[in-house]
Amino acid sequence: MRRPVKLDFKPLSLRETAKRLGVPPARARKILALVGVDFDGRIVSTAPLKSQARTGRASSRRAKTSTR
Amino acid sequence: MPKTKEAVFLNIPYDPQFTRLYLAYITALSAISLLPQATLGITGNRRLDRIAGLIESCAYSIHDLSRVQLDRHAPRTPRFNMPFELGLAVAWAQANPRHRWFVFESVRRRLNKSLSDLDGTDPYIHEGTVRGVMREVCNAFVSRGTQPTVPHMMKMYRELRRDCPGVLKNAGAQSIFTARVFSDLCVAAAGLRSKYLGSD
């Protein structure tokens, strides 16, 4: 019977993983943002929540009004 | 090329018919914290030297011999790159027993017919399915940290598939079979490992 190979190393950090794969940090950050994590593995939102989007639109409208 | 204990040489077909399993290998290997390395982007007359160098730099190699049939275009030809690269890896492992190689197939007992020199080697049979690739990668390796389950890997795989158009757009590429998109997908899969399994 085959025995699985035991991988005796600690997982690399995301920063180190990107480096070993030859992906520059800025590009890696963009890719990680796509899957919803940052370099430290913290979950970040991939799309703005509806309420945030609404607030964003309102504030930009306010900004436009104030510049007029 | 520096040797890394996390690197695994991924010897698989790079064509659209293999897309699902290509993403499955990237996902499964990233889930167990390995760094997939591919021959994508290696061209020119020094290609063979660079492939040999890549194999030597990896602690493990996975050779998928499931694509043994003739292609559709004339002259109809079987693909010899994968068995040839397996031969390179076996020769390297003979001289350096720390290099471990694994043969993956989709059909049971076909390897005895297609490559009888490997009689006595048990291939990992994935049956041509994404879930089969996940299961067989788990049969081949056990990670030191949290061992991902097949359902975890499937969740990661589905999300990686959904994120493919975004990765392609970022790279300005049309195909996922390019060196840049391959490394970007590996970063994305590592991010998904972190998201679903933690970084332990």
**What is the rounded distance in angstroms from the CA atom of residue B85 to the CA atom of residue B54?**
11
C-alpha distances out from residue B35 to A26, B54, B168, Å: 20, 12, 20
**% pLDDT > 70, chain B:** 98
Q: Which chain B residues have a beta carbon less than 8 Å from that of A23? A: 183-184, 187
In tens, the pLDDT along B140-150 reads 999 877 889 99
Residues of chain A whose beta carbon is less than 8 angstroms from a beta carbon of chain B are: 2, 4-14, 17-18, 20-23, 27-28, 30-32, 34-37, 40-41, 43
Beta bridge partners of residue A5, listed in sequence order = B141
In the predicted structure, residue A49 carries a pLDDT above the cut 80: no
> pLDDT class for A37, splitting at 50, 70, 90?
very high
| Residue B140 forms contact with A (CB below 8 Å) | yes
CA distance A48 to chain B (A): 16
- Where do the domains of chain A lie? 14-67
| Cβ–Cβ below 8 Å for B33 and A11 | yes
Closest Cα to residue B185, out of A10, A20, A18? A18
Chain length of chain B = 200
State which CATH number among 3.40.50, 3.30.519, 2.40.160, 3.30.70 fits the domain covering B4-197: 3.40.50
| Residue B35 forms contact with A (CB below 8 Å) | yes
**What is the rounded distance in angstroms from the CA atom of residue B116 to the CA atom of residue A13?**
41
> pLDDT class for A66, splitting at 50, 70, 90?
very low
Question: What rounded mean pLDDT belongs to chain A?
Answer: 77
In tens, the pLDDT along B158-177 reads 999 999 999 999 999 999 99
| Cβ–Cβ below 8 Å for A11 and B166 | no
Residue B99 near residue B58 (C-beta atoms within 8 A)? yes
DSSP annotation of B103 reads E
CB under 8 A, 24+ apart: contacts of B193-196: B193/A11, B193/B30, B193/B31, B193/B33, B193/B148, B193/B156, B194/A14, B194/A37, B194/A41, B195/A35, B195/A36, B195/A37, B195/A41, B195/A43, B196/B148, B196/B152, B196/B155, B196/B156
**What is the rounded distance in angstroms from the CA atom of residue A1 to the CA atom of residue B94?**
21
Two tokens, residue B162: 């959904």
In tens, the pLDDT along B123-140 reads 999 999 999 999 999 999
pLDDT attached to residue A56: 47
